[in-house]
Amino acid sequence: MSTTITIDELAKTPRPVRVVVDAMGGDFAPLNEVQGAFRALEGLGTDVEIVLVGREPDIRKHLANAPDRIKILHTLDIVGMEDEPSSIVKHRKESSLYVGLDLVKQGHADAFVSSGNTGGVMATATMVLGRIPGVSRPTIGSFFPTMTGRPTLLVDVGANVGSKARFLHDFAVMGSVYTELMQGIASPTVGLLNVGEEESKGTDVAKETHMLLKSSPVNFYGNVEGRDILKGTVDIVVCDGFEGNIVLKFAESILGFLKHRFRSFANKGLLQKLLIGAFRPVLKRVLSGMDYQEYGGVPLLGVNGVVIIGHGSGSPLAISNMILKADEMVRKEVNGAIQRKLTIEPVSKGQQ
């Protein structure tokens, strides 16, 4: 039977790997969070514990017969989509978001998973946990399907707007470490998103980043263009969050656009409707890789703790995947590897 626990009790109990879930985060919270936690247990080692942080009565409603490895930590306050990201640390200390992150900060847990307000999670995580030594700016990436079948990580997709070259350099290093350890790709290739292949192309920041990456510890392929993302030319595509966010949102809109097109065709007549109906399973299968929600959550790389952020409308499966990913990141010591890469071979001060 799942127990309710206090922070003091958590601090005192022997320390398994502990993944904190913001039970009040997503659009269907806490239902999907609870179901996701249940589902995750099947894939986790028995030495892993899940802590659901949020309103106990709401959580309990969905938590009949939960095993003891799922704990509840009661909090009253909930951060919503309308909350100003920068003000949460100051004014929402009773929220599931703040309390959950603070458990990681205090060493009572190892990882934090949330499908809540992305900007809010990002800002609060950065302020509560701080940065990994050597990291100029934490970042969020997103996976894109490619023609090679191997996804490409686009980083940054909106955490940082107007990045300096040094920030982009760090995104490249963090993306490489993550891809190497989590996807198992040795020496993954990194491309710099630009408007042409020549190193003289692009904005001043792009040119400076190109030079930095040439002498960095990553496997730098050179500049890539917009078309190289879906082509899968490289494993990691680095860019500022301004264009990264624009490209991600454009990409996320393609599926809806195609569905609209097929629907318009089906509405032309009975024959057309039957044709599209017969073909629906094929379409679903072929287009499935373009549903960006299927990728579950993405890591907030560079903060001093493991944090996975998911889509607000994430399914129980998505939340379960986020929990599994969080556990894997803890075990593979991704953050330690990032720190080593960025402090052992630091960029010279003059280039910062």
Catalog residues that contact a second copy under the rule CB under 8 A: 145-147, 158, 161-162, 193-195, 201-204, 206, 225-227, 229-231, 239, 241-243, 245-254, 256-258, 260-262, 265, 272, 275-276, 279, 282, 285-287, 289
What are the CB-based long-range contacts (under 8 Å, 24+) for 204-208? 205/163, 205/164, 205/165, 205/168, 205/240, 208/165
49 by DSSP, 3-state: which?
Answer: strand
Q: Output DSSP code: residue 201.
A: -
* Cβ count within 10 A of residue 151: 17
Our CB check for a second copy shows the closer of 165 and 247 to be: 247
Our CB check for a second copy shows the closer of 182 and 290 to be: 290
Q: Distance between CA atoms of 211 and 234, rounded to whole angstroms?
A: 18
Provide, rounded to whole angstroms, the least separation between the CB of residue 92 and a second copy. Answer: 20
Our CB check for a second copy shows the closer of 5 and 287 to be: 287
Provide, rounded to whole angstroms, the least separation between the CB of residue 216 and a second copy. Answer: 22
Our CB check for a second copy shows the closer of 30 and 116 to be: 116
52 by DSSP, 3-state: which?
Answer: strand
20 DSSP β-pair partners: 51, 112
Q: Distance between CA atoms of 37 and 228, rounded to whole angstroms?
A: 37
- 96 and 22 in contact (C-beta within 8 Å)? yes
- 342 and 167 in contact (C-beta within 8 Å)? no
Q: Distance between CA atoms of 125 and 131, rounded to whole angstroms?
A: 9
Collect all residues with Cβ–Cβ distance below 8 Å to 312 and sequence separation of at least 6: 25, 26, 27, 81, 115, 116, 117
Our CB check for a second copy shows the closer of 50 and 237 to be: 237
Token pair in block for residue 222: 């050179």
Provide, rounded to whole angstroms, the least separation between the CB of residue 124 and a second copy. Answer: 18
Our CB check for a second copy shows the closer of 116 and 305 to be: 116
Provide, rounded to whole angstroms, the least separation between the CB of residue 264 and a second copy. Answer: 8
Our CB check for a second copy shows the closer of 41 and 287 to be: 287
- 330 and 306 in contact (C-beta within 8 Å)? yes
